[in-house]
Amino acid sequence: MPLVPYDPFTVTRRASDWFPSFPRLFEDDWFDNHLANMPRVRCDVRETPNEVIVTAEIPGLEKKDDVNITVHDNHLHLSGKIEQMDDREDEHVHRMERYYGQFARTVPLPTPVDDTRAKASYRNGILEVRLPKSQKNQGRHIDVDFH
C-alpha cells in the first residue's frame, strides 16, 4: 500500500473540479492574478556548468527603463511597467485582454551567482538574464594522501 501524504486542501481542490466557478484559492496563479492584481510573469530557469539563465515573457516593453532587474539573497527580482497604447476617441473597445501596468516577479535561483557579471537582453517580448555562477561558493575536490 503506497503512502499518501496528508493534504488538508484536497477537498477544496476537488470542489474546484466539481464547480468550475469556485475559485482555485490554493494555486499560485490565483494569488498572483487576484490578490496582487498583477499578471504572473512566466519564467524559465536553466542552468549550465558556468551560468544560470532566466528567460521571462514580458511583451510590451519599449525601453530599458520599463524593467528593473536586481539580484538579492539568491533571488532574481523582476519588476516594471508596461505602458498602455494610446486610446482613440473614435474607436469602441469590444475586448481588452492584454495587460498594461505594473508587474513583478521574484525567482529563486538554483545556485549562488555573481551578480556583478550578469547580463540581460530583450528581444521579441522575451527578457533573458544570464547570471554567471559564483566561483567562491563552488567546492573543490580534495585529494587524500595515503601513506
> What is residue 113's predicted lDDT score, i.e. its pLDDT?
93
- Mean pLDDT per block of 10 residues along the chain (147 residues) reads 64 60 51 53 93 93 90 92 75 77 91 92 93 76 69
Kindly report the pTM of this predicted structure.
Answer: 0.65
| Residue closest to 113 by CA, chosen among 40, 42, 43, 46 | 46
What are the boundaries of each domain within the chain?
A: 7-37, 39-132
Q: Which of these CATH numbers, 2.60.40.790, 1.20.1280.290, 3.30.1510.10, 3.20.20.370, describes 39-132?
A: 2.60.40.790
> What is residue 35's predicted lDDT score, i.e. its pLDDT?
44
> What is residue 101's predicted lDDT score, i.e. its pLDDT?
84
Burial class (CB in 10 A: 0-12, 13-18, 19+), 25: middle
d(CA 105, CA 42): 9
